[in-house]
Amino acid sequence: MARRSDHSRDELREMAVNAGQEIIKNEGFSNFSARKVARNIGYTIGTIYNIFESHDDFILHINIITLREMCGFIAENTTETGEDAIKQMVSSYIKFAQNDYNRWSALFEHVMPNNTPLPDWYDEEVKKIFLLVGSHFMAITNDAEAAQMASRTIWASVHGICQLGMTGKLDIIGAQSIQELTDSLIENYLKGIKL
């Protein structure tokens, strides 16, 4: 039918991404679909594919917003330095996952098909978190390589505890228990590297 041009390409992208965020937030990642977004913004499925390369590309454009917000939330709540900063970051991460479970879990429920690598623009955003954590480890060890290793180890570990905890695979209940395990992790790990 008609070329509507009610909205510019950029406006359409923003509308689609916002509508997608809303669906994930309210109904969970498993209930997200590109067709549902199209219906919600009053366009057809063809328009979505006109704007995004593929279903995965669309999802990544939604998830990167969550990633940025999460990163911002963590940075905001990290007021101390060194060891305290690391504890604050972990607590904020858990809080974000708890408050916005559907959006947080969409970050990990979406898996690229087979072994397709993440596009650079998304990958960079992931790396930013490690840089942030790494900078605070630098204040503790003063050894760039050790700080990098420690920040990756701690961050991935916290994520694992959070994920298994949130999905009921740790036989623990609530964010408080998750916090206890990450506390145990950080406390003992930091003791270890300071020996």
Q: Which residues of this protein are in contact with DNA, per CB under 7 A?
A: 1-5, 9, 12, 32-36, 43-50, 54-56
* Shortest distance in whole angstroms from residue 56 CB to a second copy: 10
**Contacting range for a second copy; rule: CB under 8 A; set: 13-21, 22-30, 78-86, 90-98:** 22-30
Q: Which tokens in the block code for residue 56?
A: 């995965």
Q: What Cα–Cα distance (Å) separates residue 192 from each residue in 53, 120, 141, 187, 189?
A: 47, 35, 12, 9, 5
Cα–Cα distance for residue pair 24/45, rounded to 1 Å: 18
45 binds a second copy, rule: CB under 8 A:
no
Q: Which of 12, 37, 90, 181 binds a second copy (CB under 8 A)?
A: 181
Pull the structure tokens for residue 81: 């330095």
Which of DNA, a second copy, none interacts with 92 (beta carbon under 5 to 8 A by kind)?
none
State which residue, 48 or 154, has the beta carbon closest to DNA.
48
Task: Identify what 167 binds: a second copy, DNA, none; CB under 5 to 8 Å per kind.
Answer: a second copy
Q: Which does 50 bind (CB under 5 to 8 A by kind): DNA, a second copy, none?
A: DNA
Query: Alpha-carbon distance 69 to 65, whole Å?
Result: 6
Nearest to 88 by CA among 98, 100, 80, 97: 80
Handedness of CA 130, 136, 138, 140 (dihedral sign): negative
Residue 181 and residue 161 in contact, taking contact as beta carbons nearer than 8 Å = yes
Residue 130, contacted partner among DNA, a second copy, none, CB below 5-8 A by kind: a second copy
Residues in touch with a second copy (CB under 8 A): 28-30, 105, 109, 111-114, 117-118, 123, 126-127, 130, 149-150, 152-153, 156-165, 167-172, 180-182, 184-185, 187-193, 195
